[in-house]
Structure 1
């Protein structure tokens, strides 16, 4: 666009003034030359030195063929300025200096030939050089330097953001390790002690026939082992461990979960509707955790029985749990709705929804959680 406006300005200026000064042949040759060198301003940046030389040569040639006694018309003044800017902006080192010298020589040569510059007066030479080429060349150098400075600032900002993200990731990793250590110190040791004492008590009763006490102790022992295994998986996950133990449980581990709660005295029936599908990793873990929470609620607040239904659809999976509500004297006091809040939170992460409450006309409690498989 700049080259086009420059070409238009120079050719129109010379079209009106040059036709009154030059013979027809010289006039049309110079007009074609102006059009060519100004069009070359749109060429590749690496040709800026050649373009500057062509602009200077054309200006000198136009002055050399000027008829004697004629006032010199404006030729490619705009082209000279833009060529000087290009040389300053796009060339470096020796090529940039050479391009400046070409243009300066052209300006001085034109001035000397048409009598506007006194070669014996250094002030006249300096002034014509500064006005004709040096100012535009310096503006080009400044523009390039400013652009490089802005690019450096942007790169520095990007590096600082990357460093900040890395520092945040390191801080999170340290916090995860600290959480893992605290969980191990606070929970794992106590759960291990529960399992050991339950096992010792069960062995002390081994001489007797099976009794509700020994069955309960076996359930405590089994549950403590399961809790330790689950806790170890969480600790490995927090430590970013790549070991097999770091794998979070999913629906493939549902049978083990059912065995654990059955040993604790909860009769569990699981049914599947639709065609089983492989769930994406995080969704598989979330569904498993929801089933685990449903079984825990049924164990704590139910009456010893729960029906779990997994319903697979094309784009969603629904988990439903129905259990009898325990008599008031058997209900376990707990923080209100903490488990239900956890279920709602997990389901909400997958754009699902949860419903729960007593079954109308029956003494059962029903909770249903629907997960979206496609994220919509």
Structure 2
């Protein structure tokens, strides 16, 4: 705003300077000689001051127009009977009329117009040679010098107000559309949250309760079954925790519990649940751990969760190798597990969606993802790499 105000002020000064030079030059060239006396000097200096006032604030436009009109009346009175060229302000009258029409409200603008038209008429009626003039040309000249600039100023103001109204209406329309989208999103999020709470949360809770009841009802001497049921309980509790976080996010809660997402720090818990389920796992880390962007940390955890779930569901039960490498410009996570007898049918739909989700997560960060069997045909590997800024 300060730069715009400064630019407008400089432009106003430039306009005033051009008017000053033009009017003073015309007065000195074709006006009365300065040797006529102090009257000629008063008119010249008055014209200079009136044109300098054009550089002033717009709120004084009415007074500036009145000054120009007064000078138009005073000049022929002071210079009488000289009647050749009496206007010490010609270009200045045009600009003063425009400013009055553009910047003033209706009543002050009309008053300023009346002052300038009065001055222009006086400048025509007072000189000694007024009888030799064609009044039709006089009226046309007054209309061009006084009325037309004022009308252009009024038109400019009306057009500026019209454009501002259009812009305001467009901004309101955009705000209303954005608000409608926000309401629709909020309603959809509420619907999803309600479905998650009423349907999925109920079933997951029931799974945990029944698994716990079955574990407690097992006879002694069933360690494998107890471990499996404990794993089901742990997994159901973890699923419920994730569901609660999702529900909080869908409801727009900004508390810490809703925003806290699991990351690589929770990888050991994930592996413990995997071991409880009967699948051995070994984590190997290379390079010194470094602080990761939160989004990358969460993505790595979710990818590991998906890959380990697939290993539990589709693997042969051998040890799962998790290799985490912190490098200078990237972090690489590789999960390798033994696979059972090849499935001659198409992969399960859930598996295909899980692998597609892994690739999409990695693609969001411009990384690389490899998912598939190794050359020996007995192992499956998921390998992802995320670029990092060099430390």
Identify whether the pair has TM-score above 0.5, normalized to the shorter chain: yes
Q: Are the counterparts in 2 of residues 300 and 331 from structure 1 also a CA contact under 8 Å?
A: no
Task: Give, in angstroms, the shift of residue 177 of structure 1.
Answer: 1.3
Aligned to 2:270: 257
Within the alignment, does 1:227 sit opposite 2:239 as a pair?
Answer: yes
The question of 1:61 aligning with 2:74 is answered: yes
- For 2:340, the equivalent position in structure 1 comes to 326
Q: Distance in 2 between matches of 1:162 and 1:20?
A: 66
| Aligned counterparts of 2:82 and 2:46: Cα–Cα separation in 1 | 23
The CA deviation at 1:42 is: 2.6
1:355 — aligned with what? 370
Rounded to whole Å, the distance in 1 between the matches of 2:32 and 2:333 is 92
Q: By how many angstroms is 1:147 displaced?
A: 0.8
Answering whether residue 189 of structure 2 is matched by residue 171 of structure 1, we say no
TM-score (norm 1): 0.85
Structure 2 residue aligned with 1:317, among 331, 343, 363?
331
The question of whether the paired residues in 2 share the 8 Å contact of 1:46 and 1:91 is answered with: yes
Is the alpha carbon distance of 1:182 and 1:87 closer, same or farther for their aligned partners in structure 2, counting shifts above 3 Å?
same
1:334-345 superposed matches below 5 A: 334-335=348-349, 337-345=352-360
Cα shift readout 1:102-127 (whole Å, capped 9, x = no counterpart): 32331222122126879xxx999987
Who is 2:386 aligned against? 371
Q: Distance in 1 between matches of 2:240 and 2:185?
A: 24
Comparing 310-319 and 127-136, the one that deviates more: 127-136
Superposed, which structure 2 residues align to 1:26-175 within 5 Å? Answer: 30-68=43-81, 70-72=83-85, 75-92=88-105, 95-114=108-127, 130-175=143-188
Aligned counterparts of 2:381 and 2:23: Cα–Cα separation in 1: 87
> Which deviates further from its counterpart, 158-167 or 333-342?
333-342
Contact kept? 2:283, 2:321, Cα under 8 Å: yes
- TM-score, normalised to structure 2, is 0.82
Query: C-alpha displacement at 1:22, in angstroms?
Result: 7.3
Shift of 1:85: 1.0
Of stretches 351-360 and 24-33 in structure 1, the one that deviates more from structure 2 is: 24-33
- Aligned Cα root-mean-square deviation (Å): 3.3
CA distance 1:331–1:214, change in 2 (3 Å):
farther
**1:119-175 deviation line (CA, Å, top 9, x unaligned):** xxx999987765542332232122112212211221221122122112211211111
Distance (Å, rounded) in 2 between the aligned partners of 1:70 and 1:230: 96
Instruction: Note if contact 1:117-1:124 (Cα within 8 Å) is conserved in structure 2.
Output: no
Instruction: Pick from 276, 279, 287 the counterpart of residue 292 of structure 2.
Output: 279
Distance 1:340 1:361 in 2: 21
Taking a change above 3 Å as real, the CA distance of residues 330 and 252 of structure 1, as seen in their structure-2 partners, is farther
Candidates 293, 296, 304, aligned match of 2:309: 296
Cα shift at 1:359: 3.1
| Structure 2 portions without partners, runs of 5+ | 1-13
CA distance in 1, matches of 2:83, 2:210: 118
Q: Distance in 1 between matches of 2:150 and 2:167?
A: 26
CA distance in 2, matches of 1:99, 1:314: 75
Kindly tell me: are residues 11 and 242 of structure 1, through their superposed partners in 2, closer, same or farther at Cα, counting changes over 3 Å? closer
Q: CA contact under 8 A between 2:339 and 2:379: conserved in structure 1?
A: yes
Structure 1 residue 203, shift from structure 2 partner? 2.1
What residue ranges of structure 1 are gaps of 5+ in the alignment? Answer: none
Separation in 2, partners of 1:112, 1:373: 85
- Distance in 2 (alpha carbons) for counterparts of 1:211 and 1:240: 44
2:330 paired with 1:306 = no
CA contact (8 A) 1:4 1:39 kept: yes
Deviation of 1:308 after TM superposition, in Å, equals: 1.5
- Mean Cα deviation higher: 291-300 or 303-312: 303-312
Q: Matches of 1:309 and 1:332 in 2, distance apart?
A: 28
User: In the alignment, is the contact (CA less than 8 A) between 1:107 and 1:128 conserved in 2?
Assistant: no
Moved more, 149-158 or 241-250: 241-250
Match of 1:183 in 2: 196
